[in-house]
Amino acid sequence: MSATSLVSVLLALAACENRREKAIQKINQDTEILQGVNGAVNEVIRNQTDCDAAKPLIPEAYQKIDEARKQVTAPATQVTLDALKSQVDRVAQVCP
């Protein structure tokens, strides 16, 4: 193997490692963002049997979901946000 080939292989390996690290960072970032959204949505769900308690929590949950949509990068995270929004939608329909 020539020196040029060896350098090319090493550069390719370094590029792959860098992409992997960036992907992991994006996932970790999305996870942190989702934690705040999950907390707000869980409060809505936890109080769904008491509309007086749930109603004031619904706008905050929607706001957190909307803010998170602007910040997350992974397509799977967008799907998770859709699922969380549908849970809040159900409570909002029951507690108009």
3-state class of 56 per DSSP?
coil
Please name the amino acid found at residue 48: Q
Summarised one tens digit per residue, pLDDT across range 18-31 is: 677 777 787 778 88
3-state class of 57 per DSSP?
helix
Summarised one tens digit per residue, pLDDT across range 33-65 is: 899 899 999 999 999 999 999 999 999 999 999
Rg (CA), the chain: 21
Q: Which residue has the tokens 């080939």?
A: 5
Rounded to two decimals, the pTM is 0.74
Q: What is the dihedral of CA 18, 22, 28, 29, to 10 degrees?
A: 150
Q: What is the mean pLDDT of the chain?
A: 83
| Domain extents in the chain | 26-94
